[in-house]
Amino acid sequence: MKTAIKEYMIKNKSLVVLVVFCIIVSILNPRFLTISNILNILRQTSINSVIAAGMTFVILTGGIDLSVGSILAISGAVAAAMISQGNNEFIAVIAALAIGAALGAFNGLVISKGKIQPFIATLGVMTLVRGYTLVFTDGKPISAGSSEAALKFSNIGAGYFLGIPLPIYIMVLVFGLAYYVLRHTRTGRYVYSLGCNEEATIYSGINTDRIKVLVYTISGFLAALAGIIITARLSSAQPQAGTGYELDAIAAVVLGGTSLAGGIGGIFGTVIGALIIGVLNNSLNLMDVSSYYQLLLKGLVILAAVLLDRKQKK
């Protein structure tokens, strides 16, 4: 009973912030509540959302993944390079996702078998992978080209289905799957249990190392998926793509009420958290706020929302 109420309150709180925020913005700027703008927000949010979904798994276990921005960049670069070299778009996407998953699994192995703190381990991988991306791309953007494969590929980021951008479908699918896995599967249960009390989870006969490898693999895989969306949308991969994205993803998770200590929270909160950040970015753009002030305001909103969360939890 109590959990249900508590969960409901946590969910509702960030939801309340989001709704109030939307109302204020729509009063200040009537252009906000148009269908095209809302679709715009959702499309822009999709990148951060997909990364944040993976980050939710990691943070629920009490970990953190700083390497997602770099994984996004290398996956995008590999996909673009493969297509420009005449490969099939399908194979390029699979390869990019596999690289993301492999790098994530590497994170997980360093953390679980190497017993390195997640912050340090993923900081190392973040730097390493960013470096490799610069070497791989020679510091220059890689264009996917204009082959038939390249056109099909660009659809993933720029295409529409029933008038709605494809990245939005991807985002919804990712969130839905993540919710289902966390709520209804063994893996999800183990993620929460590990985040609450690792020792007790081990004593219950669960291989926690495997769960750790799995959550970082999921995070790496989804970062690669985000990399594919971005690269497809621009039809080219930028060597500096995704810089700082890990922080936006962490902010979305925390805004959604998930505890950095692990064990508490969930994917629904992350949806709201990502939307709050998306709406904030969009509304400041609509109101022609300079990008310097945008950063400043974003920081303030994050701090305020998290403080509010802390207060109410007490």
Partner 1 sequence: MGDSIIKMKGVTKEFPGVRALKSVDLNIYKGKIMALLGENGAGKSTLMKILTGVYEKTTGEIILNGKPVQIKNTREAQNMGIAIIHQELNLISNLSIGENIFLGREPINSFGKIDWSKLYKAAKLIMDRLGITERPETLVGELSIGKQQMVEIAKALSLNARVIVMDEPTGALTDKETDSLFRVIKELKAEGRSIVYISHRLKEIFQICDDVTILRDGQFIAEYPINEVNEGKIIELMVGRKLSEQYPRVTCELGETLLEVKNLKNAYVKDINFSIKSGEIVGLAGLMGSGRTELARTLYGVYNKDSGEVIVQGKPVHIKSPGQAIQQGISYVSEDRKGNGVVLGLNVKENISLSVLQKLSGLFGIIDKKKEENAALDSIRGMSIKTSGVKQLVKNLSGGNQQKVSLSKSLMTSPKVLILDEPTRGVDVGAKKEIYDIINQFKKAGMSIIMISSEIPEILGMSDRIMVMHEGRITGCLERQKADQEKIMRLAVGQREVTM
Query: Where does this chain bind partner 1 (CB under 8 A)?
Result: 1-4, 184-187, 189-190, 192-193, 195-197, 199-207, 263-264
- The helix (H) or strand (E) run that includes residue 165 is strand 164-165
Quote the Cα angle for 41-29-20, to 5°: 70
Helix (H, G, I), strand (E, B) or coil at 290: coil
Q: How far apart are CA 61 and CA 77, in angstroms?
A: 30
Q: Which is nearer to partner 1, 170 or 214 (CB)?
A: 214
What is the DSSP code (8-state) at residue 160?
E
CB of 190 to partner 1, least distance (A): 8
Q: Which is nearer to partner 1, 113 or 184 (CB)?
A: 184
Quick one: 139 exposed, middle or buried, by C-beta within 10 A (0-12, 13-18, 19+)? Answer: exposed
CB 286 within 8 Å of CB 29: yes
CA 246 to chain centre: 8
CB of 13 to partner 1, least distance (A): 17
CB 225 within 8 Å of CB 100: yes
Q: Which is nearer to partner 1, 193 or 238 (CB)?
A: 193
Q: Which is nearer to partner 1, 140 or 183 (CB)?
A: 183
Other C-beta atoms closer than 10 Å to the C-beta of 136 total 17
φ/ψ of residue 15, rounded to 5: -65, -40
Q: Which is nearer to partner 1, 23 or 200 (CB)?
A: 200
CB of 207 to partner 1, least distance (A): 6
CB of 60 to partner 1, least distance (A): 11
CB of 93 to partner 1, least distance (A): 23
CB of 186 to partner 1, least distance (A): 4
Q: Which is nearer to partner 1, 63 or 167 (CB)?
A: 63
